Amino acid sequence: MTSRLYRTTRPLAAQVTLVLRRLGVEEVGSPTIAALIALYVAGLILLDGRQTQTRVALFLPGRAHDALNRLLRVMPFSTRALMGMLVGLCKGHHKDGYLCLDDVVVEKAFARKLPWAGWTYSFAKKRKVYGLHVVVLLWCASDGGSFRIPVAFRLWRPKRSCAAHAYRTKLKLAEVMLKEVIGSGLKARYIVFDTHYSAGWFTRMVTRLGLVWVGTLHPRTIVVVWGGKRRSVGELARTLSLKWRKRLRVRASAVNVYAPKYGILRLVVTRNRHGNHEYIVTNDLGADLTTVVLRKVSRWSIETLFGDTKQYAGLEACQCRVDQAMVRHVGLVLLTYVVLQMMRRSVDESLGSVKEY
Protein backbone atom coordinates (compact mmCIF):
# COMPACT_ATOMS: atom_id res chain seq x y z
CA MET A 1 0.00 0.00 0.00
CA THR A 2 2.86 2.40 0.81
CA SER A 3 4.32 1.97 -2.68
CA ARG A 4 1.21 3.63 -4.17
CA LEU A 5 1.75 6.83 -2.18
CA TYR A 6 3.46 9.95 -3.41
CA ARG A 7 7.17 10.15 -2.68
CA THR A 8 6.66 13.09 -0.31
CA THR A 9 4.07 11.32 1.87
CA ARG A 10 5.71 7.91 2.17
CA PRO A 11 7.85 8.84 5.22
CA LEU A 12 4.76 10.00 7.14
CA ALA A 13 2.81 6.84 6.32
CA ALA A 14 5.77 4.66 7.30
CA GLN A 15 6.24 6.48 10.59
CA VAL A 16 2.52 6.23 11.46
CA THR A 17 2.53 2.53 10.62
CA LEU A 18 5.54 1.97 12.88
CA VAL A 19 3.92 3.79 15.82
CA LEU A 20 0.67 1.86 15.40
CA ARG A 21 2.56 -1.43 15.37
CA ARG A 22 4.20 -0.46 18.64
CA LEU A 23 0.73 0.21 20.05
CA GLY A 24 -0.48 -3.21 18.87
CA VAL A 25 -3.03 -2.13 16.26
CA GLU A 26 -2.67 -5.46 14.45
CA GLU A 27 -4.55 -7.11 17.33
CA VAL A 28 -7.62 -4.96 16.68
CA GLY A 29 -8.47 -6.58 13.34
CA SER A 30 -7.11 -8.18 10.20
CA PRO A 31 -3.94 -6.93 8.44
CA THR A 32 -6.17 -5.13 5.92
CA ILE A 33 -8.00 -3.28 8.70
CA ALA A 34 -4.69 -2.37 10.36
CA ALA A 35 -3.37 -0.98 7.06
CA LEU A 36 -6.53 1.07 6.49
CA ILE A 37 -6.39 2.43 10.05
CA ALA A 38 -2.78 3.51 9.43
CA LEU A 39 -3.82 5.22 6.18
CA TYR A 40 -6.75 6.99 7.86
CA VAL A 41 -4.61 8.18 10.79
CA ALA A 42 -1.90 9.40 8.39
CA GLY A 43 -4.58 11.35 6.50
CA LEU A 44 -5.85 12.98 9.69
CA ILE A 45 -2.30 14.07 10.48
CA LEU A 46 -1.38 15.19 6.95
CA LEU A 47 -4.43 17.36 6.25
CA ASP A 48 -5.06 20.55 8.19
CA GLY A 49 -8.83 20.53 7.64
CA ARG A 50 -11.74 18.72 5.96
CA GLN A 51 -10.22 15.29 6.57
CA THR A 52 -12.92 13.38 4.71
CA GLN A 53 -12.37 9.96 3.18
CA THR A 54 -12.34 11.45 -0.35
CA ARG A 55 -9.64 14.01 0.48
CA VAL A 56 -7.56 11.47 2.41
CA ALA A 57 -7.62 9.13 -0.61
CA LEU A 58 -6.70 12.06 -2.88
CA PHE A 59 -3.55 12.98 -0.97
CA LEU A 60 -2.72 9.41 0.16
CA PRO A 61 -3.76 7.23 -2.80
CA GLY A 62 -2.85 3.95 -1.11
CA ARG A 63 -6.50 2.83 -1.36
CA ALA A 64 -9.66 4.28 -2.87
CA HIS A 65 -11.98 6.33 -0.70
CA ASP A 66 -14.54 3.49 -0.85
CA ALA A 67 -12.16 1.35 1.22
CA LEU A 68 -11.99 4.06 3.88
CA ASN A 69 -15.79 4.34 3.82
CA ARG A 70 -16.06 0.59 4.41
CA LEU A 71 -13.56 0.87 7.25
CA LEU A 72 -15.87 3.30 9.04
CA ARG A 73 -19.17 1.65 8.14
CA VAL A 74 -19.02 -2.12 7.74
CA MET A 75 -15.61 -3.64 8.41
CA PRO A 76 -15.48 -5.78 11.61
CA PHE A 77 -13.41 -3.93 14.16
CA SER A 78 -14.34 -2.58 17.57
CA THR A 79 -13.63 0.87 19.00
CA ARG A 80 -13.74 -0.76 22.45
CA ALA A 81 -10.76 -2.88 21.38
CA LEU A 82 -9.08 0.29 20.12
CA MET A 83 -9.52 1.94 23.52
CA GLY A 84 -8.43 -1.28 25.24
CA MET A 85 -5.18 -1.01 23.32
CA LEU A 86 -4.65 2.49 24.75
CA VAL A 87 -5.51 1.27 28.27
CA GLY A 88 -2.77 -1.33 27.83
CA LEU A 89 -0.36 1.46 26.85
CA CYS A 90 -1.15 3.27 30.12
CA LYS A 91 -0.68 0.15 32.22
CA GLY A 92 2.48 -0.98 30.44
CA HIS A 93 4.53 2.18 30.14
CA HIS A 94 3.25 4.79 32.61
CA LYS A 95 2.57 3.56 36.13
CA ASP A 96 1.54 6.79 37.83
CA GLY A 97 -1.31 8.94 36.54
CA TYR A 98 -4.73 10.44 37.11
CA LEU A 99 -8.05 10.51 35.26
CA CYS A 100 -10.03 13.43 33.83
CA LEU A 101 -13.70 13.19 32.84
CA ASP A 102 -15.58 15.67 30.68
CA ASP A 103 -17.55 16.03 27.44
CA VAL A 104 -17.07 18.16 24.35
CA VAL A 105 -19.56 19.60 21.86
CA VAL A 106 -18.77 18.87 18.20
CA GLU A 107 -20.73 21.41 16.19
CA LYS A 108 -22.66 20.04 13.19
CA ALA A 109 -24.67 23.05 12.06
CA PHE A 110 -26.14 21.42 8.93
CA ALA A 111 -26.39 17.76 10.01
CA ARG A 112 -30.17 17.72 10.49
CA LYS A 113 -30.43 13.99 9.78
CA LEU A 114 -27.60 12.94 12.08
CA PRO A 115 -29.20 10.97 14.97
CA TRP A 116 -26.48 11.99 17.43
CA ALA A 117 -26.93 15.73 16.91
CA GLY A 118 -29.30 18.18 18.58
CA TRP A 119 -29.49 21.66 20.04
CA THR A 120 -27.17 22.09 23.01
CA TYR A 121 -25.44 24.89 24.88
CA SER A 122 -21.77 25.47 24.10
CA PHE A 123 -19.83 27.02 26.99
CA ALA A 124 -16.97 27.81 24.58
CA LYS A 125 -19.21 29.92 22.31
CA LYS A 126 -21.62 31.05 25.06
CA ARG A 127 -24.68 30.16 22.98
CA LYS A 128 -26.74 27.24 21.76
CA VAL A 129 -25.32 25.28 18.84
CA TYR A 130 -26.49 22.27 16.83
CA GLY A 131 -24.08 19.43 17.41
CA LEU A 132 -23.24 16.26 19.29
CA HIS A 133 -21.67 15.46 22.66
CA VAL A 134 -18.68 13.16 23.10
CA VAL A 135 -17.98 12.04 26.70
CA VAL A 136 -14.28 11.27 27.16
CA LEU A 137 -12.27 9.67 29.96
CA LEU A 138 -8.63 10.77 29.77
CA TRP A 139 -5.60 9.29 31.54
CA CYS A 140 -2.75 11.73 32.19
CA ALA A 141 0.78 10.95 33.33
CA SER A 142 1.62 12.59 36.64
CA ASP A 143 5.08 13.73 35.48
CA GLY A 144 3.87 17.10 34.24
CA GLY A 145 1.46 15.87 31.58
CA SER A 146 4.00 14.36 29.17
CA PHE A 147 1.39 11.87 27.95
CA ARG A 148 -2.40 12.29 27.81
CA ILE A 149 -4.11 9.12 26.63
CA PRO A 150 -7.88 8.78 26.04
CA VAL A 151 -8.94 5.44 27.53
CA ALA A 152 -12.72 5.51 26.88
CA PHE A 153 -15.37 7.56 25.10
CA ARG A 154 -19.09 7.50 24.37
CA LEU A 155 -21.33 9.52 22.07
CA TRP A 156 -24.39 10.89 23.83
CA ARG A 157 -27.67 10.40 21.97
CA PRO A 158 -30.56 12.88 22.45
CA LYS A 159 -33.91 11.55 23.68
CA ARG A 160 -35.61 12.25 20.36
CA SER A 161 -33.38 9.82 18.46
CA CYS A 162 -33.66 6.70 20.63
CA ALA A 163 -36.25 4.61 22.42
CA ALA A 164 -37.17 5.68 25.94
CA HIS A 165 -35.66 2.54 27.50
CA ALA A 166 -32.40 3.04 25.59
CA TYR A 167 -31.76 6.65 26.60
CA ARG A 168 -28.68 7.26 28.76
CA THR A 169 -27.61 10.51 30.35
CA LYS A 170 -24.00 11.64 30.12
CA LEU A 171 -23.55 10.66 33.76
CA LYS A 172 -24.76 7.12 33.04
CA LEU A 173 -22.39 6.88 30.10
CA ALA A 174 -19.55 8.09 32.31
CA GLU A 175 -20.45 5.47 34.94
CA VAL A 176 -20.19 2.65 32.39
CA MET A 177 -16.86 3.93 31.06
CA LEU A 178 -15.33 4.34 34.49
CA LYS A 179 -16.36 0.86 35.64
CA GLU A 180 -14.93 -0.67 32.46
CA VAL A 181 -11.59 1.12 32.78
CA ILE A 182 -11.13 0.49 36.50
CA GLY A 183 -12.29 -3.10 36.01
CA SER A 184 -9.55 -3.59 33.41
CA GLY A 185 -6.92 -2.94 36.09
CA LEU A 186 -5.90 0.63 35.25
CA LYS A 187 -4.66 2.48 38.34
CA ALA A 188 -5.14 6.18 38.97
CA ARG A 189 -4.20 8.47 41.86
CA TYR A 190 -7.46 10.40 41.53
CA ILE A 191 -10.18 11.45 39.08
CA VAL A 192 -11.16 15.07 38.47
CA PHE A 193 -14.30 16.49 36.84
CA ASP A 194 -16.43 19.64 36.78
CA THR A 195 -19.76 20.55 38.37
CA HIS A 196 -21.95 18.56 35.95
CA TYR A 197 -20.31 15.27 36.98
CA SER A 198 -20.28 16.12 40.69
CA ALA A 199 -23.71 14.58 41.25
CA GLY A 200 -24.27 12.85 44.58
CA TRP A 201 -25.01 9.35 43.27
CA PHE A 202 -22.12 9.54 40.80
CA THR A 203 -19.52 10.59 43.38
CA ARG A 204 -20.69 7.85 45.76
CA MET A 205 -20.23 5.34 42.95
CA VAL A 206 -16.70 6.65 42.34
CA THR A 207 -15.92 6.29 46.04
CA ARG A 208 -17.14 2.66 45.99
CA LEU A 209 -14.68 2.01 43.17
CA GLY A 210 -11.89 3.04 45.55
CA LEU A 211 -11.02 6.28 43.74
CA VAL A 212 -10.21 9.68 45.18
CA TRP A 213 -12.32 12.24 43.32
CA VAL A 214 -12.15 16.01 42.98
CA GLY A 215 -15.04 18.11 41.68
CA THR A 216 -16.87 21.38 42.18
CA LEU A 217 -20.21 22.18 43.78
CA HIS A 218 -22.95 24.55 42.69
CA PRO A 219 -23.18 27.52 45.09
CA ARG A 220 -26.74 26.51 46.05
CA THR A 221 -25.68 23.05 47.26
CA ILE A 222 -26.82 22.53 50.88
CA VAL A 223 -24.25 21.56 53.51
CA VAL A 224 -24.48 21.09 57.29
CA VAL A 225 -21.97 23.10 59.31
CA TRP A 226 -21.23 23.80 62.98
CA GLY A 227 -24.16 23.37 65.32
CA GLY A 228 -26.18 21.43 62.74
CA LYS A 229 -27.01 24.55 60.70
CA ARG A 230 -28.01 23.99 57.09
CA ARG A 231 -26.85 26.57 54.60
CA SER A 232 -25.76 26.78 50.99
CA VAL A 233 -22.11 26.56 49.99
CA GLY A 234 -22.29 30.14 48.72
CA GLU A 235 -23.52 31.38 52.11
CA LEU A 236 -20.85 29.37 53.93
CA ALA A 237 -18.11 30.88 51.75
CA ARG A 238 -19.01 34.38 52.90
CA THR A 239 -18.41 33.41 56.54
CA LEU A 240 -14.94 31.91 55.95
CA SER A 241 -11.71 33.86 56.29
CA LEU A 242 -9.92 33.36 52.98
CA LYS A 243 -6.14 33.74 53.19
CA TRP A 244 -3.83 34.67 50.33
CA ARG A 245 -1.99 31.66 48.89
CA LYS A 246 1.06 32.93 47.04
CA ARG A 247 1.78 29.68 45.21
CA LEU A 248 -1.81 29.33 43.97
CA ARG A 249 -2.35 33.08 43.42
CA VAL A 250 -5.81 32.93 45.00
CA ARG A 251 -7.40 33.48 48.38
CA ALA A 252 -8.54 30.18 49.82
CA SER A 253 -9.72 28.31 52.90
CA ALA A 254 -10.45 24.64 53.61
CA VAL A 255 -13.01 23.02 55.92
CA ASN A 256 -14.66 19.61 56.32
CA VAL A 257 -18.45 19.68 55.90
CA TYR A 258 -21.34 17.26 55.67
CA ALA A 259 -23.53 17.37 52.54
CA PRO A 260 -26.77 15.29 52.66
CA LYS A 261 -26.33 14.11 49.05
CA TYR A 262 -22.60 13.36 49.32
CA GLY A 263 -21.59 12.59 52.91
CA ILE A 264 -18.55 14.12 54.60
CA LEU A 265 -16.45 16.18 52.20
CA ARG A 266 -13.30 18.26 52.19
CA LEU A 267 -14.40 21.69 50.91
CA VAL A 268 -11.92 24.25 49.57
CA VAL A 269 -13.33 27.72 48.81
CA THR A 270 -11.18 29.90 46.53
CA ARG A 271 -11.57 33.49 45.33
CA ASN A 272 -9.50 34.83 42.44
CA ARG A 273 -8.44 38.40 41.76
CA HIS A 274 -11.71 39.06 39.93
CA GLY A 275 -13.72 38.17 43.04
CA ASN A 276 -15.09 34.91 41.58
CA HIS A 277 -15.58 32.02 44.00
CA GLU A 278 -15.03 28.32 43.28
CA TYR A 279 -16.20 25.53 45.58
CA ILE A 280 -13.86 22.55 45.21
CA VAL A 281 -14.73 19.31 47.00
CA THR A 282 -13.08 15.93 47.42
CA ASN A 283 -13.64 12.71 49.33
CA ASP A 284 -9.99 12.79 50.45
CA LEU A 285 -10.65 14.26 53.90
CA GLY A 286 -6.98 14.43 54.84
CA ALA A 287 -5.82 16.31 51.73
CA ASP A 288 -4.23 19.71 52.28
CA LEU A 289 -5.59 22.82 50.58
CA THR A 290 -2.80 23.15 48.01
CA THR A 291 -3.12 19.53 46.89
CA VAL A 292 -6.87 19.85 46.35
CA VAL A 293 -6.52 23.04 44.29
CA LEU A 294 -3.69 21.64 42.16
CA ARG A 295 -5.71 18.50 41.46
CA LYS A 296 -8.60 20.66 40.31
CA VAL A 297 -6.28 22.70 38.08
CA SER A 298 -5.05 19.46 36.46
CA ARG A 299 -8.49 19.09 34.85
CA TRP A 300 -7.29 21.55 32.20
CA SER A 301 -5.51 18.62 30.50
CA ILE A 302 -8.79 17.38 29.05
CA GLU A 303 -9.64 20.84 27.71
CA THR A 304 -6.38 20.86 25.77
CA LEU A 305 -7.29 17.41 24.44
CA PHE A 306 -10.53 18.77 23.00
CA GLY A 307 -8.81 21.76 21.44
CA ASP A 308 -5.98 19.71 19.93
CA THR A 309 -8.24 17.02 18.47
CA LYS A 310 -10.38 19.68 16.79
CA GLN A 311 -7.40 21.60 15.45
CA TYR A 312 -4.92 18.86 14.58
CA ALA A 313 -6.82 15.55 14.30
CA GLY A 314 -10.09 16.35 12.50
CA LEU A 315 -12.61 15.72 15.28
CA GLU A 316 -15.22 17.81 13.43
CA ALA A 317 -14.36 16.48 9.96
CA CYS A 318 -16.60 13.39 9.63
CA GLN A 319 -19.60 13.97 7.33
CA CYS A 320 -21.09 10.46 7.46
CA ARG A 321 -24.63 9.97 8.83
CA VAL A 322 -24.19 6.29 9.72
CA ASP A 323 -24.03 5.73 13.47
CA GLN A 324 -21.12 3.31 13.39
CA ALA A 325 -19.08 5.58 11.09
CA MET A 326 -19.37 8.53 13.47
CA VAL A 327 -18.34 6.42 16.47
CA ARG A 328 -15.37 4.92 14.64
CA HIS A 329 -14.24 8.31 13.36
CA VAL A 330 -14.13 9.66 16.93
CA GLY A 331 -12.19 6.57 18.04
CA LEU A 332 -9.64 7.01 15.23
CA VAL A 333 -9.31 10.72 16.03
CA LEU A 334 -8.44 9.88 19.65
CA LEU A 335 -5.96 7.27 18.38
CA THR A 336 -4.43 9.94 16.12
CA TYR A 337 -4.02 12.19 19.14
CA VAL A 338 -1.94 9.50 20.86
CA VAL A 339 0.10 8.84 17.68
CA LEU A 340 0.95 12.55 17.43
CA GLN A 341 2.26 12.48 20.99
CA MET A 342 4.40 9.41 20.29
CA MET A 343 5.86 11.09 17.18
CA ARG A 344 7.22 14.02 19.21
CA ARG A 345 10.98 14.41 19.36
CA SER A 346 10.70 15.66 22.98
CA VAL A 347 7.92 15.77 25.57
CA ASP A 348 7.89 19.57 25.40
CA GLU A 349 7.20 19.68 21.66
CA SER A 350 3.68 20.77 20.67
CA LEU A 351 1.42 18.70 18.44
CA GLY A 352 1.35 21.57 15.94
CA SER A 353 5.12 21.24 15.51
CA VAL A 354 4.74 17.51 14.85
CA LYS A 355 2.29 18.21 12.03
CA GLU A 356 4.60 20.80 10.51
CA TYR A 357 7.49 18.41 9.95
Residue pLDDT tens, the chain, 357 long:
666 788 888 888 899 999 999 998 988 888 899 999 999 999 999 998 888 888 998 998 888 889 999 999 988 888 999 999 999 988 876 668 999 999 998 888 777 778 778 888 877 778 888 888 999 999 998 876 578 999 999 999 888 878 888 889 999 999 999 999 999 999 999 999 999 999 999 999 999 999 999 999 999 999 988 777 899 999 999 899 999 999 999 999 999 999 999 999 999 999 988 889 999 999 999 999 999 999 999 999 999 999 999 999 999 888 887 888 889 999 999 999 999 999 988 888 888 888 777
Residue 96: the pLDDT is 83
Q: Is 7 left (phi over 0), alpha (psi -120 to 50) or beta?
A: alpha
Instruction: Give the whole-angstrom CA distance, residue 129 versus residue 204.
Output: 32
Residue 346 belongs to domain spanning = 2-77+317-356
Q: How many domains does the chain have?
A: 3
Instruction: Give the whole-angstrom CA distance, residue 328 versus residue 337.
Output: 14
Asked whether residue 220 falls in the same domain as residue 181, the answer is: no
| Closest C-alpha among 138, 180, 115 to residue 302 | 138
Asked whether residue 27 falls in the same domain as residue 103, the answer is: no
Residue 3: the pLDDT is 64
Instruction: Give the whole-angstrom CA distance, residue 126 versus residue 123.
Output: 5
Confidence (pTM): 0.92
Asked whether residue 311 falls in the same domain as residue 172, the answer is: yes
Question: What's the residue count for the chain?
Answer: 357
Asked whether residue 55 falls in the same domain as residue 105, the answer is: no
Asked whether residue 238 falls in the same domain as residue 199, the answer is: yes
> Any bridge partners for residue 270, and if so which?
252, 278
Cα dihedral 142/144/146/150 (nearest 10): 50
Asked whether residue 52 falls in the same domain as residue 84, the answer is: no
Residue 127: the pLDDT is 84
Please give the C-alpha separations between residue 204 and each of 15, 171, 244, 311, in angstroms, as whole numbers: 44, 13, 32, 36
Asked whether residue 280 falls in the same domain as residue 324, the answer is: no
Asked whether residue 97 falls in the same domain as residue 222, the answer is: no
Return all residues near 123 (Cβ < 8 A) that are at least 6 apart: none
Asked whether residue 88 falls in the same domain as residue 149, the answer is: yes
Instruction: Give the whole-angstrom CA distance, residue 195 versus residue 311.
Output: 26
Residue 316: the pLDDT is 87
